Amino acid sequence: MSNTINIDGQTIPFQEGQTIIEAATAAGVYIPHLCHKPGYTPHGSCKLCTVNVNGRNCSACTFPAAEGQNIINNSRELTHDRQKITQMLFVEGNHLCPSCEKTGNCQLQAVAYQLNMVDNHFPHFYPHREMDASHPDILLDHNRCIFCNLCVRASAEKDGKNVFAISGRGINKHLIVNSASGKLKDSAIDINDCAAHVCPTGAILIKRTGYQVPIGQRIYDHQSISTVALTQEQEHGE
């Protein structure tokens, strides 16, 4: 028997063990996400991928696909809520997109385009966050971290190094670095590590590569994140 789920009226096949987002991606259905990346243990923290499964809100990145699921992904309510959650991420940190090296290549920004976000809506927190420019090749700007945990997972699971961790509680969450000084330069990170390249925002940047592609010619300047994510993430699934 073939296993299927239904997303917004469309019948989609799934394999045992797949999450909803994996089945959706394979079928070419985009569900917004930031903390999910194929090949990484699901985290379920950003909450952008919330879909409604048989009347209940669930994170598509962690929830297993199962026979008989009736899933709503595109609805006014969900798009509204996802937009508000994205706005929360913007006001929580200090995101000065026009002056950020990552602009146009940034997934946070691209998700905001996708969700039609035109302002930040909520009052800014303007937190005091540091920049760690100590490493010769890699820049860590805490102002732009959204606690997606991808660098943490990349370093632990792919690089086997445990360079990063998320510490603190509530709104005081912050990213910490595993080294005697707490600085990146004294950690085990290397420019070729997955952790150095996985960040969906401009929080972790490779030095001396900025502006090699001019603004206006960057990924999301021309393509929506739904198209880009589906192409990249389907390739990964194959």
Partner 1 sequence: MKNFIQTVLAEAEYQPTRLLQILRAVQTQYQHIPAEAIVYLAEMLNIPKTRIIAVIEFYSFFHLTPQGRYDILISDSITDLMLGKENIINYLSAVLDVKVGQLSKDGLVSLNNTSCTGICDQGPAALINGYPVPRLDREKIDEIATLIFQQMPVTEWPSHLLVVADNIKKSGLLLNNLITSGSSLTASLTRGLPDTLDELEQSGLRGRGGAGFKTATKWRLCAEENSDQHFVVCNADEGEPGTFKDRVLLNSFADQVFEGMTLCAFTIGARQGFLYLRGEYLYLKHKLEFILQQRRANGLLGKNILQQGFDFDIEICLGAGAYICGEESALIESLEGKPGIPRNRPPYPVSQGFLNKPTVVNNVETFFAAAAIAVNGGAWFAQVGTEKSAGSKILSISGDCESPGIYEYAFGTPIRTILNECGAKQVLGVQIGGPSGVFISNQELDRKLAFEDLATGGSFIVFDETRNIFDIVKNFTHFFAHESCGFCTPCRVGTSLLKNRFDKIVEGHGSAGDVVELELLSKLVKNQSHCGLGQTAANPILTTLERYPELYQQQLKKISYEPGFDLDAALDVARRMAHRNDSAAHLIQVED
Binding stretches for partner 1 (CB under 8 A):
42, 44-48, 50, 57, 59, 62-64, 81, 84-85, 88-89, 91-92, 122-123, 125, 146-147, 162, 164-173, 176-178, 180
Beta bridge partners of 205: 139
DSSP notation for 147-189? ---HHHHIIIIISS---EEEESSGGG-EEEE-SSSSSGGGSS-
Q: Does 110 bind ligand FES (CB under 6 A)?
A: no
122: tokens are 């909520």
Residue count (the chain): 238
104 interacts with, out of ligand SF4, partner 1, ligand FES, none, CB within 5 to 8 A per kind:
none
Backbone angles phi, psi at 121, to 5 degrees: 60, -55
Binding stretches for ligand SF4 (CB under 6 A):
145-151, 175, 198-199, 201, 203-204
Comparing CB distances to ligand SF4, the nearer of 7 and 89 is: 89
Tell me how far apart the alpha carbons of residues 155 and 198 are, in angstroms, rounded to a whole number.
Answer: 10
Nearest approach, Cβ of 14 to ligand FES (angstroms)?
17
Q: Does 36 bind ligand FES (CB under 6 A)?
A: yes
Nearest approach, Cβ of 3 to ligand SF4 (angstroms)?
30
From the list 40-48, 159-167, 194-202, 228-236, the region that binds ligand FES by CB under 6 A is 40-48
CB 32, CB 61: distance < 8 Å:
no
